[in-house]
Amino acid sequence: MKLWQKIYLFSILPFIIIFTLASVLIIERNHSKLLQQEIDTTLRENMSIRSTMEAIVPFLKIYRSPDYEQTVWTTIGNEFVAKNSDHTMYLNIIEEPNRVAYSNIDFAIPQKWEELQSPAKDEILSILSDVGERTILFTSSLVDLNDRKYSIRYMKDVTAVYEERVEQYQFFMKVDIIACLLYLILMIFISKGLTRPIERMVRTAKVIAQGDISKRVDVNTKDEIGNLAENFNRMVQVVEDKINELELNNLEKQRFIHDFTHELKTPLTSIIGYANFLRVTKYQEDVFVDGLNVIHDEAKRLESLSLKMMDLILIREDHFELSMENLKAVLDEAEPVLTMKAKERQIQIAIDANDCWMEMDKDLMKMLIYNLVDNAIKASAEQDTITIKVYGEEQRCVLVVADQGIGIAPEHLDKIFEPFYVSDKARSRRYNGVGLGLSICQSVARMHHGTFEVASEENVGTTIKVIFETGKRNEVKQ
């Protein structure tokens, strides 16, 4: 069963039950009240006859004539009947044991009334009973007059009260049906309206389940459903972002593998080609030396590639620990190696460092410095100077490596961080470059909340600035 149908049904059933019960209760109460009123009136009238009869007793004592008595009783009875002629009533006065003093009864008295015929003194009994199609209220009292006992029976036709009840029930039935119909129609709209946002969510969820992750639920209510829809949308958004991220990651990885394969195959082609050539052709000294040189160089290139790959893998494995270090001290530690490397090509290294503390992995930071300086050395000519600066700004540590080398052409600038990208193939080969240096640097920098700023002009030099946000150091890394 659908939710709206459940809401519908579960609200309709109690409504009908409660409405009906309440109506029945009201009708019955009304009825019993009316009946009670009738009974009270009847009893009162019975009493009033009795008091009238009691009031006349002294006259009866004076005359002491049965005929006169009879005339008095008849007069009282007729007067009384005439006074109450607005409704059907019967009066029956009996002188005990069974002489009828007055009677206007036009029906046979039912048997069970007999028990009411001799009430105790000063007591009024009453009973309700159906006579034919009518309902009669019967009251009876006993009065002691002039040493004689009189039984006053006053009866009233209360059929109207019962008819009133039936009429009320009929009226109620009509009201009930109309109210229920109205309620039924209203509830369809209400329950459907309440569940519409849910249905919309279900439809959207189905579409999403079929793969269209960009879909969103359009529910603007402020209640729990709106809340659910909002959270649902947020969840889908997170999933979508994750999927996109994974896709991007995957694409990047695929490209990396693709490029890596290319980088592997090129030296391998040379090595295999030359080795085979030397193997199957007649020995010629110059070709032999040339060939072996190529094989050696290309194998060296492969070695360098594998070393850089190891670095990259190391970084990506996330086995690093951050500790508070002085960037200046790290640079000082790295300096001897850098100077030695630069000296091989007669390049000067000038260091201008100030203290700057930040959280870092020392080994990785050194790797970053080596790679940046290595690039600078490769770009520089003999007698050039490479300047390395370290200084602190508010909440930042800045590392600058500047060379006076060949520079980077503007069209290459945005690609230099791509793995395996080299702007000058021939030059890069000469130094066994594989195009991974800056990728490594970027990975390291990212771990330390660092960003790059590259300024370069061809044949003037390149300045690479790495800016580390130390203010972020307390956040979760990566």
Give residues in contact with other proteins (CB under 8 A): 258, 261-262, 265-266, 268-274, 276-277, 279-282, 287, 290, 294, 297-298, 425-426
Surface-to-core class of residue 142, CB atoms within 10 Å of its CB (0-12 exposed, 13-18 middle, 19+ buried): buried
CA dihedral (49, 55, 61, 65) in degrees, to 10, reads -40
How far apart are alpha carbons 321 and 316 in whole angstroms? 13
Peptide linkage before 336 cis (omega within 30 of 0): no
Q: How far is the CB of 297 from other proteins (least distance, A)?
A: 8
CA dihedral (302, 303, 307, 310) in degrees, to 10, reads 60
Closest CB to other proteins among 1 and 426?
426
Max Cα distance, the chain (Å)? 180
Chain position carrying tokens 């600038």: 413
Q: How far is the CB of 266 from other proteins (least distance, A)?
A: 6
Q: How far is the CB of 455 from other proteins (least distance, A)?
A: 25
How far apart are alpha carbons 236 and 126 in whole angstroms? 80
How far apart are alpha carbons 95 and 91 in whole angstroms? 13
Closest CB to other proteins among 133 and 286?
286
How far apart are alpha carbons 191 and 181 in whole angstroms? 15
Q: How far is the CB of 273 from other proteins (least distance, A)?
A: 4
Tokens in use for 28? 């019955």
Question: Does the CA dihedral 340-346-352-358 come out positive or negative?
Answer: negative
Q: How far is the CB of 459 from other proteins (least distance, A)?
A: 20
Q: How far is the CB of 282 from other proteins (least distance, A)?
A: 6
Q: How far is the CB of 306 from other proteins (least distance, A)?
A: 17
Q: How far is the CB of 258 from other proteins (least distance, A)?
A: 8
How far apart are alpha carbons 257 and 288 in whole angstroms? 34
Question: Does the CA dihedral 243-245-247-250 come out positive or negative?
Answer: negative
Determine contact, residues 107/126, Cβ cutoff 8 Å.
no
Closest CB to other proteins among 59 and 277?
277
